[in-house]
Structure 1
Amino acid sequence: MYALSTKFLQNNPSKISRVLVYMCLFSLPAFSQIIQKPIPDKLVVLTFDDAVSTHATYVGPLLREYGFGGTFFVCEFPPDFEDKSKYMSWKQIQELGEMGFEIANHTKTHTHVNTMDKAQFVEELEYIEYKCQELGLDKPVSFAYPAYDTDPEAIKTLEEQGYQFARVGGSQAYDPKVNHPYLIPSFSTTGVDKGRVLKAIDQAKDGKIVVLTIHGVPDYAHDWVTTPPKLFEAYMQYLHQNDYKVIALRDLERYINVKEALKKIEPDFERVK
């Protein structure tokens, strides 16, 4: 940033406006090229991980009742994906997609990306892509990192595979002018601290978007990440009653020029830890 001395300002008042214009033109990033549509306050993204059975039996119907969008990050979680008391069937996943929800990629086997080489990662991604194609669903364009573990090489692979967005943890609001589109932070709703979640939701303002990560409601496979149904419904009521716009992750394309963001924003892995 350019320093303007007090003496200069006093002696050259006619030049001040030209200097300020110059500063704006040449010292600020080209954020306007990243943000292609103004981001409204109260914009929230709902994301659901692991293809948990209650996503089909409880979450999907409730979201539809409220007219909310949502992204379901699916995988075949080992060792008991075949236990349909814990996990959705692919038929149920297909039905969620046909209801208008986004079906997105969480790898085939919930394998952490920092434990795989490129070939393994591509194989995990393409399995979910193939299953979606087989069921007549759109090719996934969003990805969620299992256990929030990231890797620089994974980012390169996601771009090569044509993904637009990828979600991590980080417990912070998403600022599209700062956060790389493959490192979108989120808040978890796990647990019973209602105040924490509502405080997180209220951060959806001033150009920032709140992304929520939700596992089972409840989660019969991993009870330690459960969001209690009564609390989940309370969150949905809060969003509805306070006029939040609730969308899927893929819908951020309306607001964000992903190609420009990929070119202009450097991945910052420390920011989302």
Structure 2
Amino acid sequence: MQNRRTYNRFVIHLLCLTLAFLLFVSNGWAQVLRKPIPDKLIVLTFDDASRSHATFVAPILKKYGFGGTFYVCEFAPDFADKTKYLTWEQIRQVDRVGFEIGNHTFTHKNLAKLSKPQLTNEVDSLEILCKLNHIRKPVTFAYPAYFTSPIAFDVLAEKKYQFARVGGDRAYDPAIDHPLLVPSYSMTDSNKEIMMHSLQEAKNGKVVVWTIHGVPDIAHPWVNIPPALFEEYMKFLHDNQYKVISMRDLLSYVNSEQAVRLISLPTK
């Protein structure tokens, strides 16, 4: 009988601890979201400061009332070739009409191979160029070629970046994905089935992020997107009532500071 009472007390104590833990976790996750994430929420991101981002992409996004983030850098060695890349005046105009300019580092280096001073310089130099050209200070980041490192996480956290985008070809789930490791789908000229299927994941609190390069991309033809294909995607999103935003706009849904406290980053 005594053993039975002891066992019952143990079970009750364990249940109380479990309930307290669940309440704590539930309350924590509730604070990650500022408001519910609607179904059909899409984030569009564009990498590498391709000239077509100003001449073709931005006008189409404006036509449909879409948001978008343009992750810019001075892509070595031929950024000076303005048949391939944006001028800083064009980047400023993209910012002024309401799109987000994000940090893609200064020269698109592999961050996994950089020391902390080198990596910090890559991030700072792009911020300085934005300031010199009267462009709003970037608050989101895209890892060049998706290479990450613990040093990069430290630098971005210290500099108060709210979100940073990687690859992965899956939807972003704010309940489990760290804000400095937001996954995305990478668009090519031959993966239409994958990109269209990805849209089905934009539900139940998940957000689909697309990574797109030049439309067309003269400098990097292996990530070229034909203009007609891009316009087909945009028309589909518009006609099917998708809400299309920038990475920065996620802040209206996700409390990134709370998410940082609750979700751990990888250490390797």
Match of 2:124 in 1: 126
Residue equivalent to 1:13: none
Paired letter, 1:102: E
Count the aligned residue pairs: 255
Match of 2:100 among 93, 99, 102: 102
**Map of 1:249-260 to 2, 5 A cutoff?**
249-260=247-258
Match of 1:136 in 2: 134
Q: Which amino acid aligns with 2:231?
A: E
| Number of the residue aligned with 2:11 | none
TM-score, normalising length from structure 2? 0.90
Residue 21 of structure 1 and its aligned partner are, at CA, apart by 6.0
Sort the Cα spacing of 1:19 and 1:258 in 2 relative to 1 into closer, same or farther, 3 A: closer
Question: Is residue 178 of structure 1 aligned with residue 176 of structure 2?
Answer: yes
**SS of the counterpart of 1:65?**
helix
- Give the Å deviation of 1:132: 1.1
The AA in structure 1 aligned to 2:179 is: P
Which residue in the other structure is 2:191 paired with? 193
What is the CA–CA distance in structure 2 between the aligned matches of 1:95 and 1:111, rounded to whole Å?
26
Q: For residues 1-35 of structure 1, give each alpha carbon's deviation from its aligned partner in whole angstroms, at most 9, with x where no partner exists.
A: xxxxxxx9xxxxxxxx9999657425657210111
CA spacing shift, 1:27–1:136, aligned 2, 3 Å: closer
Question: For residue 58 of structure 1, what is the amino acid of its counterpart?
Answer: F
RMSD: 1.9
Amino acid at match of 2:202: A
Residue 168 of structure 1 aligns to a residue whose secondary structure is strand
Q: Matched residue of 1:231: which SS?
A: helix
User: What secondary structure is seen at the aligned counterpart in 2 of 1:202?
Assistant: helix
Show the counterpart of 1:240.
Answer: 238
Tell me, what secondary structure is at the counterpart of 1:30? helix
CA deviations over 1:193-223 (Å, ceiling 9, x no partner): 3221111122110000000000011110010
CA offsets per residue over residues 49-95 of structure 1, 9 Å max, x none? Answer: 00001111100111011110000000000111011111111111111
Q: CA 1:210 to 1:192, structure 2 compared with 1: closer, same or farther past 3 Å?
A: same
Distance 2:19 2:159 in 1: 41
Tell me how far apart the structure 1 counterparts of residues 61 and 117 of structure 2 sit (CA, whole Å).
36
In structure 2, distance between residues paired with 1:225 and 1:59: 15
Q: Which amino acid in 2 is paired with 1:218?
A: P
- Residues in 1 aligned to 2:124 and 2:24: alpha-carbon distance in whole angstroms: 42
Question: Does the 8 Å CA contact 2:150/2:266 hold for their aligned counterparts?
Answer: no
Is the Cα contact below 8 Å between 1:132 and 1:139 reproduced in 2? yes
TM-score of the aligned structures, taking structure 1 as reference length: 0.89
> What amino acid is aligned across from residue 119 of structure 2 in structure 1?
F
**Which of the numbers 40, 43, 54 marks the counterpart of 2:41?**
43
Unaligned runs of 5+ in 2: 1-7, 9-14
Query: Identity, % of aligned pairs?
Result: 51
